[in-house]
Amino acid sequence: MQAYALFDFMWHYALPVLIFAYCYSRILHTIRRQNKVVSGHVGRSHDVAVATTSRDQNPGQVQHQATGAPPGGKVSQAELNVLKTMITLIVCFIVCWTPFSLASVVLSLTVGLFLQLYIRALEN
């Protein structure tokens, strides 16, 4: 009974938290790697030319707009979104499932302990 409680705790609580953390860390790693690639291209004059319209202050002038990761090593909006989602998901899972998981483990451990004491008392 105690082994089942520990297995149940690991299978339904600890393992999902670890899987969530691993998957989101891989997503964040991929986003960061892509941002480095994109920022490397932007640094080599791969800017996007945007033509202005006649309502602009300088009609006919072509403006250059950089694309990619923010300069200076700042965190991009995609990275922030992944971090927020990851933290929210993991915290909500932990908050929702910790009481049940701990109660289940404690209950099965104490019931198992009391059952063993009762059996020993009956044997004597």
Give the closest residue to 68 by CA, choosing from 28, 45, 41, 30. 41
Indicate whether this model's pTM tops 0.85. no
Domain boundaries, the chain: 2-45+74-123
Mapped onto helix, strand or coil, the DSSP state of residue 16 is helix
Q: pLDDT in tens for each of the 124 residues of the chain?
A: 678 888 888 999 999 999 988 998 898 889 888 888 887 776 554 444 444 455 555 555 444 444 444 555 577 888 888 889 888 988 999 999 999 988 888 888 787 777 788 888 888 7
Counting every residue written for the chain, the total comes to 124
